[in-house]
Amino acid sequence: MLDLTQPPAALTGRQRAIYWAVALVSAATRFLAMARSIWDWDEALFCLGMRSFDVTSHHPHPPGFPVYIGAAKLLRLFTDSDFRALQAVNLIAGVLLFPAMFILARELRLRFETGLIAAALCAFFPNVWFFGGSAFSDVPSIVLVVFAIAMLFRGVRDGKAYQIGTLTLALAIGIRPQNLLVGLFPGLLATWYRFKASRRSVVLAALMGIAVCAIAYGAAIYATGTFSGYMTTVRAHGEYITKIDSFRSPGRPPLWRIFDRFFIKQYQSPALSIIASIFVVISTIGATRSRDRRIGYIALAFAPFAISAWLMLDRFSINRFSIGYCPLFAVLIADGIERLSFRRPVVEGVIGSALVASFFLWTLPALTSVRNQIAPSVAAVQSIRRHLDPKRDQLFVAFAMTPFVQYFEPTYPFLRAMDDCALPLSSGSRRPWLLMELDTTPDRGFVFTRDHGHLWDISRRHYFDVALAPVRELPQFVSGWYAAERSDTDEWRWMGAHSVTRLPPATGETVLRLAFDVPDEIMPEHPRVTIAVNGTSVARFRPTEPHLAREYRVTPAANGVPNVLELSVDRVLNPAQRHLGDDSRDLGLLVRMLSWGPG
């Protein structure tokens, strides 16, 4: 029976010794995951945010993670590296995760062995262990959430714990607003009891929580510059997630098809995922039949976020996002082990230890390269000055690599490109080079790689292969085009009503990618855009928005013959004729990026 109004039974001396032994081992293993360098996109954005915070530039990405950045800035006083400061926050959080989970298990009145197994499982889940040595915010976020829930459950009987839980939850929301979903049920439950005991304490806790959130995001807005700029960027980011990542995206598989990715395969290892899921099912059935409020309470805390992740978040980044609800599954697995062992401590301990050891042994080899090697994304950027001369070479940077160049080479001139098959929109006297994340290994240039192994399943499947390579074949802008234009890192090219471009030869199925704009002034006229390759129309449509990105899989010309791309639009803008300026050109489409290569 779960009675939060009474404290849990005190630990025995033997139990305390076991707890501290496991806690120290867990803390020591956090150092095994300490990465040598940043690796991924978000880490680069966090480092840019450390250097110059500006959410409108995605330094870092919305909503800015102000508490995470703030904590790292404090630690930055003790190190000369933005990355090490961010990583230090993660290290501290990783060390505290086991104690936080054990405290939560105690407040849920799990048996000592069960709580110990749940805490150890959560600490040694492959994604938790790996990302705890990085510069991502996921582990600090979940540690604050777990502490907050534990203190709020304790707050049912203890006013001070209620205040601490509210403060910790507010700090967690200051990292990620969606953490409110996790703290909602524990907060309402504790508030119900505290309100009956002292209305004043509830008011003070509410004011404190609101103040902490207001200060955190107020500081983010202030550092960004303007409230309108901040909110516009946050809304745009939210719209992007809804349009691209969520269940509303036309390219996202049905929810039933990705259920297993979010709730069964999040442990990364197929075999361990099956074993863990069996224990989850045992716990779910047993808790439902016995109406176990301990499992009900932890489910009410984490299930809302887990379901929202399933509905809204990028299915290709589940290994990271599942950290936000992994404590729920750690408790369910431990409870399933307890039920299967019929609550015999020795049997439960053996099964639990074997499962934790299996996660440990499966994950450990994957951490070696991360700990000892500079990531390919960083190594490739560091090679730019060794191999390129800005006077002779023009650097193009594929979109996925831009934050790394902005952070490590902020003064090096470059132009943005689309991807690893990007084609420049201009040709000049300087030799074009492309810095890119690879989908296919090129036969030229300088390639930087990282072994896949288990790391391929634990981390996001990005930046394992990065290259700095010369662009050997350029497009030929045959007719209908105006001269290329540039500003800062952007390059674009206007065309009139019809343009012809000769693309390099290709073999096999090839992908054409275009990023282009339709002039705002002609959008009310519902222009029709036609795209054809080698005389065959691949698309004909009326745009519903002025900024477009399109991708088409086509069959290229045979026998190594160049390919012909034709773009047409049946409405054009002449600014001079419409008294919008001195530009007398007929402007049809503005092409910002062009990519042509293997599918």
Lowest mean pLDDT among 245-249, 293-297, 398-402: 245-249
User: What residues have CB less than 8 Å from 166, skipping those under 6 apart?
Assistant: 148, 152, 155, 187, 205, 206, 208, 209
Residue 507: which region, alpha, beta or left (left: phi > 0; alpha: psi -120 to 50)? beta
pTM for this prediction:
0.93
Mean pLDDT across 120-134: 97
pLDDT band at 441 (very low <50, low <70, confident <90, very high): low
Half-sphere exposure of 367 (CA within 13 A, CB side): 23
C-alpha to C-alpha distance for 502 and 419, rounded to whole angstroms: 19
In the prediction, which pLDDT does 580 show? 87
Q: Reply yes or no: is the peptide bond before residue 63 cis, omega within 30 of 0.
A: yes
Mean pLDDT of 424-444: 84
Q: What is the pLDDT of residue 244?
A: 87
The two three-digit tokens of residue 581, written as one number: 């300026």
Tokens of 474: 């350029």
Residue 443 pLDDT exceeds 70: no
How does DSSP classify residue 245?
I
Question: What pLDDT is recorded for position 98?
Answer: 98
pLDDT band at 480 (very low <50, low <70, confident <90, very high): very high
Q: What average pLDDT does the segment 133-138 reach?
A: 97
HSE-up (13 A, CA, CB side) for residue 156: 17
pLDDT tens per residue, range 221-273: 999 999 999 999 999 999 989 988 999 888 899 999 999 999 999 988 999 99
DSSP SS3 for 486: strand
User: What CA–CA distance (Å, rounded) separates 121 from 327?
Assistant: 9
Tokens of 174: 């200051």
Residue 535 CA to residue 307 CA, distance in Å, equals 47
Residue with tokens 């096999």: 508
Residue in the block written with tokens 């001396």:
13
For the chain, the structural domain boundaries read: 46-370, 374-470, 476-598
Fold of 476-598: Jelly Rolls (2.60.120)
pLDDT at residue 314 greater than cutoff 70: yes
| pLDDT value at residue 579 | 85
Task: Give the closest residue to 324 by CA, choosing from 444, 175, 104, 203.
Answer: 175
Residue 413 is given by DSSP the state -
Q: What residue ranges in 315-461 does DSSP mark as E strands?
A: 393-398, 415-417, 422-423, 431-437, 446-449
* One-letter amino acid of 77: L
- Evaluate if residue 429 carries a pLDDT over 80: no
- DSSP H/E element including 536: strand 536-541
Across the range 404-409, mean pLDDT stands at 97
As to burial, measured by CB atoms within 10 angstroms (0-12 exposed, 13-18 middle, 19+ buried), residue 363 is: buried
Mean of the pLDDT values across residues 59-72? 97
Decide if 392 contacts 430 (C-beta within 8 A): yes
Task: Please report, rounded to a whole number, the percentage of residues in the chain having pLDDT higher than 90.
Answer: 90
Query: Residue type at 248?
Result: R
Other C-beta atoms closer than 10 Å to the C-beta of 249 total 15
Paired strand residues for 502: 476, 564
Mean pLDDT of the chain: 95
- For 503-549, what is each residue's pLDDT tens digit? 999 988 899 999 999 999 999 999 999 999 999 999 999 999 999 99
Indicate if the pLDDT at residue 442 is higher than 70.
no
